[in-house]
Amino acid sequence: MTHSDQPTPLQSRASGPLTGKVQVPGDKSISHRALILGALAVGETRISGLLEGEDVLNTAKSMQALGATVERTGNFAWSVRGVGVGGFAEPKAALDFGNSGTGCRLVMGAVAGCPISAIFDGDASLRSRPMRRILDPLEKMGAKVVAGGEGGRLPLTVQGARDPLPITYKTPVASAQIKSAVLLAGLAAPGTTTVIESEASRDHTELMLKHFGADIMSVQEGQHGRRITLVGQPELHGATVVVPADPSSAAFPIVAALIVEGSDVVLSDVMTNPLRTGLFTTLREMGASIEESEVRGDAGEPMAQLRVRASKLRGVEVPPERAPSMIDEYLVLAVAASFAEGTTIMRGLQELRVKESDRLEATAAMLRVNGVKVEVSGDDLIVEGRGHVPGGGRVATHMDHRIAMSALVMGCASDQPVTVDDTAFIATSFPDFIPMMRSLGAEFS
């Protein structure tokens, strides 16, 4: 189970200044990839700072089911002994990814390059989400979908390729999940697998593949795109991975500190990969005080300490080409925009419609029910900021952890409390969100 059978509502109300130093959980994207590549490597991979939320733990269980040895060795510390590229064993039962689209789609890619069958399943939310655009390139590589729901929905059975084919594939949208699935399948193919993106998506898979010993190259393609080439059938070696703090999780205390008067919050070791920091760029354009210090890096991923102080924000226009670098952060950006002075226009958000919920409509509904003027125009979100939010609404989360956290952040500074209908799903990505926010001074009850 990925949530309790009984909803767990929560109310957030205006608090005094938020203060303190915290470290948000390890990055979810890096955690998934460290487990999967550790399982495809030869030897031991040691991971520290792993996000121990339900999504990542389901990926760990799937790696065990596919034949890798996966053990927790301490707090956020894990060891993986891999089976080598193409070495997955056929699992005895369905692989259950709960609420995690990332884990499910990446493992589909890894399984597609192995001569095994595996059943992929998840919770009601994940079963409703489209998989066809992941399956299309994998089928070109020789994998087959032998059973599945309408439109390639879960539960479905993937028969991996006995002799996977290298392909050149142009992604239809900027999606790290599509790119990563193709690259993970391409590990087992002879020759060179190429992925072409017209808009660059987050590059964690490329950086980590290199860290594990793969021969991979990424070059600019056009104005905003990338061409990634991977030489197949490498022997990946076990590696040490330090997982930086997740910028998508850091987004919530950052926005809370910006909108609650007098706040001064420090966050440690936050990933600052430029393909993940569109939110920080946008907030600074809005007038946010976000200072970086103690910059360092691991496995190709930069990280820094961030100091965030309450700021008067102004409306801005966010260009569509920034969407891939902040796709998960638009929900909480919409909260910041609600407290800004003036109009904020967020363009090109079509990808939000195929997340845990239709996040575009769910975000607009969250704002409207709390007295914010908002419009969805095509794939654009337009928020009329008035410097304050009336609040007083009850937010429907639609089983979506980011809607729940964004609404709780809104309540930290709204005129009236904000109620969230169910907070159980927060555990999928940020199990300690509520106690951490309370430790900074947030009032949740």
The residue among 253, 246, 261, 443 whose CA lies nearest residue 335 is 253
Burial label, 435 (beta-carbon count in 10 A; 0-12, 13-18, 19+): exposed
Q: Is 101 annotated as a binding residue?
A: yes
Q: Is 179 annotated as a binding residue?
A: no
Residue type, 99: N
- Answer whether 415's CB lies under 8 Å from 388's CB: yes
Q: Is 322 annotated as a binding residue?
A: no
- Please state, in angstroms and rounded to a whole number, the distance separating the CA atoms of residues 248 and 279: 9
Q: Is 72 annotated as a binding residue?
A: no
Q: Is 276 annotated as a binding residue?
A: no
Q: How many CA atoms within 13 Å lie on the side-chain side of 401?
A: 25
CA distances, 330 to each of 186, 327, 380 (Å):
32, 6, 11
- Which DSSP state fits 322? G
Residue with tokens 């938020």, as numbered in its chain: 18
**Residue 301 pairs with which residues in a beta bridge?**
298
Question: Cβ–Cβ contacts within 10 Å for residue 151, how many?
Answer: 10
Residue type, 376: V
- To the query of whether residue 328 is one of the catalytic residues in this protein, the response is yes
Please give the full DSSP string across 324-373, using - where no structure is assigned.
Answer: GGSGGGHHHHHHHHHHSEEEEEE---GGGGGSSS-HHHHHHHHHHTTT-E
Residue with tokens 């079963």, as numbered in its chain: 127
**Residue 382 pairs with which residues in a beta bridge?**
345, 375
Please give the full DSSP string across 398-422, using - where no structure is assigned.
Answer: TT-HHHHHHHHHHHTTSSB-EEES-
**Residue 290 pairs with which residues in a beta bridge?**
308
Structure tokens given for 423: 């907070």
Q: Is 307 annotated as a binding residue?
A: no
Q: Is 402 annotated as a binding residue?
A: yes
Q: Out of 328, 380, 400, 421, pick the active-site residue.
A: 328
- Beta-strand pair 341-346/317-318: parallel
Q: Is 129 annotated as a binding residue?
A: yes
Structure tokens given for 375: 């419009």
Q: Is 28 annotated as a binding residue?
A: yes
Burial label, 4 (beta-carbon count in 10 A; 0-12, 13-18, 19+): exposed
The residue among 268, 178, 215, 174 whose CA lies nearest residue 85 is 215
What residue numbers does the annotated binding site cover? 28-29, 33, 101, 129, 175, 177, 328, 355, 359, 402
Binding residues for 3-phosphoshikimate: 28-29, 33, 175, 177, 328, 355
Which residue numbers are catalytic? 328
Binding-site members for phosphoenolpyruvate are 28, 101, 129, 177, 359, 402
